[in-house]
Amino acid sequence: MGDKKGGGDEINYDAQILYMRRRIEVLQYRLMIKDEQTANSRKAEEELKKRIQVLDKSFEEESVKCRENTGEMNRQYREMQESFNERIEVLQQQVAEAKQEIEAVTKDIERVRIEKDEIIRQKEAEIEALSHKMEVMAFEFADMLKETLAKMSQRIEVTHNSWDRGSNKTPLMSRLQNFSLSPEPPTKD
């Protein structure tokens, strides 16, 4: 039985060797997988580093472009702001000038209105004076006509009386009838 034990120990060694070899194979396989994973990880890490570098470069380029665009936009904004400020100043000056012109025109209008009112007042006074003068002249003319009428009436009467007294001259009425200046028909003596 001792032989069996001794031979059994060898079997044990053989089984253990076999077990260990298999274990070595498994461990080598695991090591190979780990090496492959490590290699893949390093490869992925390198790819990620390259990708990060590319992205960093892209970000840097975009940052530069952004700074350039921002600088250009700031320049344009300043130019526009200066242009607007200049335009505002010009328009404010134009508004001030327009206000001055309006004030001057308003003063001129007021002055012309006062002058017009004064001229109208003077003309109305002149019209009133002329109307009064015309009335006076009309009364004077009427008085002159009355005086002339009265004088003519006297002269006609004197002349008529003198004809009546005179020689065989026919009275004035008869003579007027002869000339058909009276409404009555002429009578023949």
Q: Report pLDDT digits (tens) over 35-57.
A: 888 888 888 989 999 999 999 99
pTM value surpassing 0.95: no
User: What length does the chain have?
Assistant: 189
Q: Give the CA angle between residues 48, 50, 54 to the nearest 5°.
A: 110
Q: How many CA within 13 A on the CB side of residue 163?
A: 13
Q: Copy the structure tokens of residue 77.
A: 């904004």
Other Cβ atoms closer than 10 A to 181: 9
Q: Copy the structure tokens of residue 168.
A: 């065989």
pLDDT of 182: 45
Q: Which residues of the chain have pLDDT under 50?
A: 1-9, 181-182, 189
pLDDT of 177: 60
pLDDT of 88: 94
Q: How many CA within 13 A on the CB side of residue 158?
A: 6
The span from the CA of 62 to the CA of 57, in Å, is 8
Cβ contacts of 173 within 8 Å, gap of 6 or more: 182
The distance from CA 141 to its chain's CA centroid, rounded to whole angstroms, is 68
pLDDT of 105: 94
pLDDT of 168: 54
Q: In which element (H, E) is residue 88 found?
A: helix 2-165
Other Cβ atoms closer than 10 A to 132: 10
The span from the CA of 66 to the CA of 74, in Å, is 12
pLDDT of 188: 52
DSSP 8-state assignment for residue 168: S
Which is it for the CA torsion 24, 27, 29, 32, positive or negative? negative
